[in-house]
Amino acid sequence: HNGVKSIFESLQTSNFYMMRIGIGRPEQKEQVANYVLSKFSLNELPVIEDVLNKIAIDLEKIIISSVV
């Protein structure tokens, strides 16, 4: 993935934490760009909120373990 590659190059290291969120795939390969860039549906918003809350908890754990 070019975005991750760019981060590696900018930081000049691969030694950092990274969290990824999967979004699934569109039914047709040609629809990937529109699918990835589209807004979340009303049905998806509660799922996103839950995932972001879990990420916040994990991020807090990472920060605390890095300080200690």
Kindly state the tokens that stand for 11: 């930081």
Its pTM stands at 0.65
d(CA 14, CA 5): 9
**pLDDT at 1 > cutoff 70:** no
d(CA 20, CA 64): 20
pLDDT per residue over 4-38, tens digit each? 889 999 999 988 888 888 888 888 888 898 888 99
